[in-house]
A and B are shown apart, each in its own frame.
Chain A
Amino acid sequence: MVHDGRRFALGTTDDITVLGDWSCDGVDTPALLRPQTGLVALYLAWPEAGGAASPEHTEIFPAATNLDITTVDGCDQLRVIDPSGSALIVEVRS
């Protein structure tokens, strides 16, 4: 993926990633779903040049199949979708 003129690698080809402004700071950062394990990882900042960043927030949603974004009051919220189409909102605790 690309941000601010730099390229970043995240996860594997089976992972699902989306970009959103999770912390309402005006910067879109990635979130990842690994469907095999249900792991949802959320990143609030991009790594420094040549560096790597670990997720600030991780959670397991065993039945998760996809990610979605909804915008509330100018901030993005990550929604985890299950096979029935129901969505759970992942809250970011600062």
Chain B
Amino acid sequence: MNNAHPKGQISETISVRSATRLGTIALAAGAILFAMPLDAGPSQLGELFVWWEQVGTPQATVSLLRASALLLASWLFFVSLIGAAGAACRSATTARLAWRLTPRSIRRLIAVSVVLSVATPGLANAAESTELPAPILVDLGPAEASASEDADPPELIDLGPVVASPRPWHLDAIQPTSPLPEAAIATFLQSPSAESETWQVAPGDHLWSIAEEILAEGGASPSESDVEHYWRRLTDANREAIGLNPDLIHPGILLTLPTTT
């Protein structure tokens, strides 16, 4: 009987303990409420399946888990808050009601839900990362609008009729300024390039006119297909000297002339 306590002291002990526990639960549930942002879901129940297909099963499962956990945490928060207030006011009935409304099984369920909803995003992301990336179609606006970023689209300008320019420079017109060593002369003569002529590009020159003039040296006026054929050979033989654009050659470039046969 020495351990016996007056009835009022027992009630007070229960009230303080209940207030502490319920307050702790209310704080934890409130913290969960604020810490867990709710994922964007379907605005209407009828859109649930469309939303599910859009976000994919893993993400949709995580979102639903989070929503469930938040719902339970909200309910626990308000019930615990009321119970804690009742316990603080020494209202044993309110505190017992709160405990009955939040039995241990419910609290465990909430704990499991919270743990799962926190842990599953990582699992969902891992599941998503194993899928092949789907091509995304992105609208970048009309092509004409984006092209306008180049403020000055180039114009094609007529420069007038083609005027044949005289051949300004030939290999056979060069006279060595000093005699070459015999070994060098032998090597030079054996080289295939020794048999091919060269052409130094002058201002106004272009590959087509050069091709025309080279072919015309034979006497007859070359046909357009002959000129085109020679123009291609001329271009191929001078890839490095010409660069990427055979329509733009610069004065001073030395072109190797393919044979006309």
Contact A58/B155 with A2-B162, A2-B209 known, Cβ cut-off 8 Å? no
B245/A17 in contact, CB under 8 A: yes
Contact A2/B206 with A10-B154, A55-B153, A58-B147 known, Cβ cut-off 8 Å? yes
How many chain A residues touch B (CB < 8 A): the figure is 36
A51, B155: Cα distance in complex, Å: 10
Main DSSP-derived SS at the A contact region:
strand
Interface centre among B153, B156, B158, B247 (most CB of A within 10 A): B156
A13, B234: Cα distance in complex, Å: 20
Interface size of B as a range: 20 to 34
Q: Given the complex, which residues of B lie within 8 Å of A7, measured CB to CB?
A: 158-162, 206
Q: Which of B144, B206, B208, B250 contacts A13 (CB 8 A)?
A: B250
**B244: interface (CB < 8 Å):** yes
A8/B158 in contact, CB under 8 A: yes
Q: Which of B150, B157, B250 contacts A9 (CB 8 A)?
A: B157
**B4: interface (CB < 8 Å):** no
Q: Given the complex, which residues of A lie within 8 Å of B150, measured CB to CB?
A: 34, 37, 39, 58, 60
Interface residues of chain B, those whose CB is within 8 Å of chain A, are 143-144, 146-147, 149-150, 153-162, 206, 208-209, 244-245, 247-248, 250
B154/A55 in contact, CB under 8 A: yes
Interface centre among B154, B159, B161 (most CB of A within 10 A): B154
Interface centre among B147, B149, B162 (most CB of A within 10 A): B147
A54, B162: Cα distance in complex, Å: 22
Query: Which residues 1-54 of A sit at the B interface, judged by CB distance below 8 A?
Result: 1-2, 5-13, 15-17, 19, 30, 32, 34, 37, 39, 41, 43, 46-54
Q: Given the complex, which residues of A lie within 8 Å of B159, measured CB to CB?
A: 6-9
A41/B153 in contact, CB under 8 A: yes
A52/B149 in contact, CB under 8 A: no
Q: Which of B144, B146, B154, B244 contacts A11 (CB 8 A)?
A: B154
Least CB distance from B189 to A in Å reads: 36
Q: Given the complex, which residues of A lie within 8 Å of B160, measured CB to CB?
A: 6-7, 49-50
